[in-house]
Amino acid sequence: MKSALSFLKAAKRSEIASLRRLVLTGALVNAVGRLVHALQRERGLSNLFLGSQGRHWADERLAQVAGSQGLQEEVLYAFEQLDTDTGPSGHRARLFAAIAYAMQGLAALGTLREQVQARHWSAPRATEAYVRVISALLAVVFEAADSALDPDISRHLVAFFNFLQGKEFAGQERAAGSALFAAGRAETDSQQRLLHLIESQERCLQVFADVAGPGLSTTWQQLQRPDHLLPLERLRRVLCTTPADGPLDTGLSQVWFDACTARLDAMKSVEDALASELQALCGQRLRATEQELAELERLGDQLRAAGPSGQDSAFFDEPTAAAGLPASLAVGPPVDGSVLALVRDQARRLQAMGDELDTVRASLNERKTIERAKGLLMAHRQLGEDEAHKTMRQMAMNQSRRLVDVAEAVLAMAAVLPPPPGR
């Protein structure tokens, strides 16, 4: 007959299985981060190549493509290591769906590169294609963060995702500015997009700073010092203040690319530190839980040797509120060396973990709400993604409300809105 201790050991084995999956997930998001960094550089060089009508940056672009392909194989290998045979939870199901979509994007990269090499696609179209592939990869990191059940690991994953997303907006800024300088002419739509990208990256990086540990937050703030950003800020002003159709100095193409690259490379060092901390934390949690399981095994041996303890009545000794837990989880007072004490401690720990996990996931839930509201506006008003986000941001400013509050209000109207055009 199975005892209470049997189920405690089963709970620990379940935790260990979850942590082992998180170790693989940590390796996966690390590999995704490296590939995203390479694709961001590949995108920027492709825009310089296309903007110059193929006259410059061809060799640099091809060398970068080769590097990206090697990292792409690493990501596919990391996908392969995940266990897809065990029945997934809802969170794991979404992670696997995101991976399936990302794999489709990676398979399509060959076509994208061929179109750029032949100069059949414009710089904006190539940029959008790269953005779609990178967004699919970032969605994997997002779902990985949402699937973690350990609050500390989840916090690291949330910080990692927001930092990667902010870095992606910075990469898109590099690509958009590269195309403008290489073409030698200012364009209103591209200038507005640059402003949107600058604001978007700052928003994501603020979330990162809020949830990351103090060491990484301090490192990032040092990289944000004005003297480090001054060359980039000067070029931003040139791009954003030149009148529409006004000339831009094509000689600044390389200067802009190098300034943006210096910032992205600095961000990569923070990203690497985040990934290293994540892997170390996953390993630490796994070892600690394996040790706890070993201690439960030893306790089981001791209890079998000692025979009945006669302590079952301790369950009724004090009210459930004494443990400081909800009535459904609370148990009696500590009994040294007893299974009851272990059950009580496990219940308290799981409740505390659940509460902390809810707090950590708040930023992810807000992002989901904003993305859903943005999609609704895009469908019903025939807006682009940037326009939909700008519309909601303006509504938030006009009403002095948070963006997520406006998003919730938009979603609340979904039931009474007419069907989108074409349906």
Q: What is the CATH number of the domain that holds 387?
A: 1.10.10.10
Query: Does 130 share its domain with 272?
Result: yes
Instruction: Tell me which of 263, 285, 307 is where a domain ends.
Output: 285
- Is the confidence at residue 336, as pLDDT, over 60? no
Distance in angstroms (rounded) separating the CA atoms of residues 14 and 12 = 5
Closest CA to 135 of 108, 107, 98, 160: 98
- Banded model confidence at residue 323, pLDDT cuts 50, 70, 90: very low
- Residue 45 shares a structural domain with residue 187: yes
Assess whether 73 and 221 both reside in one domain.
Answer: yes
Residue with tokens 């995203």: 36
Q: Are 208 and 159 in contact (CB under 8 A)?
A: yes
Q: Which has the minimum average pLDDT: 78-82, 107-111, 350-354?
A: 350-354
Taking Cα atoms as reference points, which of 88, 257, 81 lies closest to residue 182? 257
Domain that holds residue 130: 23-285
Q: How many domains does the chain have?
A: 2
pLDDT band at 104 (very low <50, low <70, confident <90, very high): very high
pLDDT for residue 337:
44
Same-domain check for residues 74 and 207? yes
Residue with tokens 């399936």: 100
Q: Are residues 255 and 370 in the same domain?
A: no
Q: How far is CA 74 from CA 28, 78, 101, 214, in A?
A: 9, 6, 17, 31
Is the pLDDT confidence value at 330 over 50?
Answer: no
278 and 367 both lie in a single domain: no
DSSP codes joined into one string, 255-320: HHHHHHHHHHHHHHHHHHHHHHHHHHHHHHHHHHHHHHHHHHHHHHHHHHHH---S-GGGGGSS-G
Domain boundary among 266, 285, 304: 285
Spatial separation of the C-alpha atoms in residues 182 and 127, rounded to whole Å? 14
Residue at token pair 């978007």: 200
Mean pLDDT of 245-263: 91
Does 323 fall in a domain?
no
Separation between Cα atoms, residue 276 and residue 274, nearest integer Å: 5
Closest by CA to 141, choosing from 127, 128, 159, is 159
CB 51 within 8 A of CB 178: yes
> By CB neighbour count within 10 A (0-12 exposed, 13-18 middle, 19+ buried), where does 380 fall?
middle
147 plus 278 within the same structural domain? yes
Task: Out of 285, 305, 325, pick the residue that ends a domain.
Answer: 285
Name the average pLDDT for the chain: 81
